[in-house]
Amino acid sequence: MTPKAIHATEVKSLYEKHGSALAAYGCCCGLDFASAQDVVQQVFLKLLEGRASPLDSPAAYLHRAVRNAAFNLRRHSRREAEMPEDTWLVGGDASREEALAVQAALHDLPEEQRETVFLKVWAGMTLQEIASVLEVPMNTVASRYRYALEQLRERLQPVAGRW
């Protein structure tokens, strides 16, 4: 299918709305923050050049594009998903240490669970949208999400001081 042309202002608007979450998602997929930003830029430049089209669901398309680009980058550089040393999560009230603890807890999850949690909590996607991004059945997404939350609750209990 020939990509539908998308206007520059629409691309900028999508970037402002989803750019930060996409970069953090790139980190979730094993990139450092600088590489994740580069990947997101490339995805949006493709949109600007008309080489890609977000079709019906821009958020799902963009996250899928960032995911593919992140995996390609990792494959080419032959590097494993590593815990990014810089923060890609920030909290208004929370300290940097607390943000890093959340990042570390996320990183300890299996990759597919980590992605599921990110897409649900920070990208604000429904389970169905997540299923389309990860290309797995919705029931699989639901069970991954449930397992991930259980593990995160146990892991973050001392840091959060609740539950």
Partner 1 sequence: MQQEKHDEEIERYLSKFQPRAIRPLDIPRRNGNPQLRWLAAVAVLAFAGYVALSHRPRETSQSTGVLASPAMGEVLPGDFRRSKPISTSALTELALDDVKAFDAVLNDESRSMFPNMRQEQSALRVLAKP
Supply the minimum distance, in Å, between the C-beta of residue 20 and partner 1.
Answer: 4
Question: Under the criterion CB under 8 A, does residue 85 sit at the interface with partner 1?
Answer: no
Contact of 58 with 156, CB cutoff 8 Å: no
Supply the minimum distance, in Å, between the C-beta of residue 35 and partner 1.
Answer: 12
Of residues 89, 127, 136, 138, which one binds partner 1 by CB under 8 A?
89
Phi, psi angle pair for 109, to nearest 5°: -75, 155
* Residue showing tokens 């590097």: 79
Q: Cα dist. 97→7, 94, 102, 121 in Å?
A: 41, 8, 9, 20
Stretch that binds partner 1, among 59-67, 72-80, 92-100, 132-140 (CB under 8 A): 92-100
Count how many residues are written for the chain. 163
Question: Under the criterion CB under 8 A, does residue 22 sit at the interface with partner 1?
Answer: yes
Question: Under the criterion CB under 8 A, does residue 117 sit at the interface with partner 1?
Answer: yes
Contact of 14 with 58, CB cutoff 8 Å: yes
Q: Which is nearer to partner 1, 53 or 87 (CB)?
A: 87
Contact of 86 with 35, CB cutoff 8 Å: no
Contact of 153 with 81, CB cutoff 8 Å: no
Question: Under the criterion CB under 8 A, does residue 142 sit at the interface with partner 1?
Answer: no
Question: Under the criterion CB under 8 A, does residue 141 sit at the interface with partner 1?
Answer: no
Question: Under the criterion CB under 8 A, does residue 41 sit at the interface with partner 1?
Answer: yes
Name the residue type at position 121.
V
Q: What is the CA 149 to chain-centroid distance, rounded?
A: 16
List CB contacts of 24: < 8 A, sequence separation 6 or more.
36, 88, 89, 118, 122
Question: Under the criterion CB under 8 A, does residue 57 sit at the interface with partner 1?
Answer: no
Q: Which is nearer to partner 1, 112 or 150 (CB)?
A: 150
Residues engaged in binding partner 1 (CB under 8 A): 8, 11-12, 15, 19-25, 33, 37, 40-41, 44-45, 48, 87-94, 99, 102, 117, 120-122, 146, 149, 152-153, 156, 160, 162-163
